[in-house]
Structure 1
Amino acid sequence: MSYSQQQIKERMEKLIAEIDRLRVLYHVQDDPQADDVVYSSLMDELRELEKQYPHLRDASSPTQRIGGKPRDAFRKTVHKVRQWSFDDLFDYESLVAWEEKVKRMMDKKGLDTTELAYCCEMKIDGLKIILTYEKGKLVTAATRGDGITGEDVTHNIKTIHSVPLTLPYPIDLVVVGEVWLPAQELERINAERAKNDETPFANARNAAAGSIRQLDPRIAAGRKLDMFVYDIDVLEGNEQYCETPQTQIAVLGLLQELGFKVNRIFQLCDSCDAIEKMYTAWIDKRNDQDFAIDGVVIKINDKNAQKALGYTGKAPRFAIAYKFPAEKTTTVVENITVQVGRTGVLTPVAHLRPVAVAGTTVSRATLHNEDEINRLGLKIGDTVVVQKAGDIIPEIVEVLTNMRTGKEQSFDMRTACRTVCGGDVVRDTIGTKNTENSVAYYCKDANSFAMRKEQLRHFVSRKGMNIDGLGEKIIVQLMDEGLVADQSDFFALAKGDVEHLERFAQKSAENLIAAIDRAKRVELAKFLFA
Structure 2
Amino acid sequence: MPTLEILPRVKARKLDSFIYDIASLDPRSDLKGFQGLTFDTQEKELELLRQLGFQVNPHFKRFTDIEGVIKYWKLWQDQKEKEDYLVDGVVAKVNEKKFQDVLGYTGKSPRFGIAFKFQAEQVTTVIEDITLQIGRTGVLTPVAALKPVLVAGSTVSRATLHNEDEIRRKDIRIGDTVVIQKAGDVIPEVVKVMAEMRTGKEKIFRFPTHFPLCGGDGRIERIPGQAAYRCVTQNSYEQQRRKLEHFSSRKVFDIDGLGPRIIKQLMDAEIISNLDDIFMIKREDLETLERFGEKSINNLLEAIEKARSVALGRFIASLSIPQVGEETARDLALHFGTPERFAKVTLSELEKLNGVGPVVAHSITGWFADKENKKLFERLLKHVHIAPVQHRVLNRGLPLAGKSFVLTGTFEGMSREKAKEKIRELGGEVRESVSKNTDYVVAGANPGEKLKKAEELGIKILSEKEFSDMLG
Structure with more strand by fraction: 1
Question: Which structure has more RCO (C-alpha within 8 Å, separation ≥ 6)?
Answer: 1
TM-score (norm 2): 0.42
TM-score (norm 1): 0.37
**Looking at CA atoms only, which structure, 1 or 2, has the larger radius of gyration?**
1
